[in-house]
Amino acid sequence: MNIRFLETFIWLARLQNFRLTAEKLHTTQAAVSSRIASLEESFDVRLFDRNSRSATLTPAGRKMLAYAERIVSLGEAMRREVEDASGDGSLIRLGVVESIVHSWFPAMMARVRERYPRLEVEVTSDTTIHLAQLLRADAVDLIMQTDELGDREFANHPLCEFPMHWVASPALGLSGKTVDLARLAEFPVISFSRHSGPHIALEREFARAVERPVRINCISSVAAMIRLVADGFGVTALPPAIIQRELREHTLDVLDVDSGFAPLPLVATYRPQSHPLPARIAELAGEQAQAFVAALGRDLYGRPAGKR
């Protein structure tokens, strides 16, 4: 029996609403429906009466609720005991790129705090290259960044992908029209840190499409990149997922450019032979990342200004 499915059943019984239950559990309404359907199939009984507004327990569901609450409570007690015995009330050192910090990381940290209330968390925000160096030097326990590490001692856990698009301030006059890379090269081009995946992709795109050399300004801080471009300094390629506020406020626009990028992958990497906690946090990060992507929906991809 899947305890997570029972937790979903309990929260749906309390909230009587699939959307609210999905928000509470940081998942999707489809996932909630699937878990309830699986329980109903396992017990060969209907647990809820559903309509367009609410879900209320059937008589069989009311009988099952008391047992489900006892099982979940026992599971939580067991997990606390096991975690205490394995030392999870200590410290974990996380390394995180800013693209994650600016998207689903705060929600993930809330879930970590809820699940491991005694755990001390130390967070370092840096570039993928520097985070990989820290992990190899055993200065962090888990990194969440953009490149898988090929070293055999590490495990890579895919989290999600963020589509990349060209963006600029409306003040540059590039919004609402199709532009090419040659036109973008007339402005200062801002990129992620030198030798990062996005920087290499940027150089490759310009080398293919623009005859003259293009000067690319590399900045290691995503926050600084966003501020500079919003202030009209130049153009850059960013995931729309991390600039939702700027897009809503129209300080940045997604441009209609006749050239595209591969999505930005996000990966959690750790030593699997070390303490089991990094693997658990990586799994939790994956769940939160997927919930963020599902909640953002089409806005994850961005829409060129003028095509809203």
pLDDT of residue 209: 81
* Burial classification of residue 208, based on how many CB atoms lie within 10 Å of its CB (0-12 exposed, 13-18 middle, 19 or more buried): exposed
Instruction: Read off the CATH number of the domain in which 26 is found.
Output: 1.10.10.10
pLDDT of residue 80: 63
Together in a domain, 182 and 255: yes
Together in a domain, 144 and 169: no
pLDDT of residue 217: 92
Together in a domain, 113 and 234: no
pLDDT of residue 100: 95
pLDDT of residue 274: 66
Together in a domain, 142 and 63: no
Give the chain's domain count.
3
Helix axes 59-85, 3-15, angle to 10 degrees: 130
Segments of the chain scoring below 50 in pLDDT: 85-87
- Which residue range is the domain that position 33 belongs to? 3-85
Asked if residue 108 is part of any domain, the answer here is yes
Domain boundary among 52, 85, 118: 85
Q: b vs e for 95-127, b when ≥16 Cβ sit within 10 Å of the residue's Cβ?
A: bbbbbbbbbbbeebbebbeebbeebeeeeebbb
Instruction: Read off the CATH number of the domain in which 243 is found.
Output: 3.40.190.10
Together in a domain, 157 and 272: yes
Together in a domain, 73 and 115: no
Q: b vs e for 232-253, b when ≥16 Cβ sit within 10 Å of the residue's Cβ?
A: ebbbbbbbbbbbeebbeeebbb
pLDDT of residue 282: 96
pLDDT of residue 193: 86
For residue 97 the two structure tokens come to: 């790129």
pLDDT of residue 85: 47
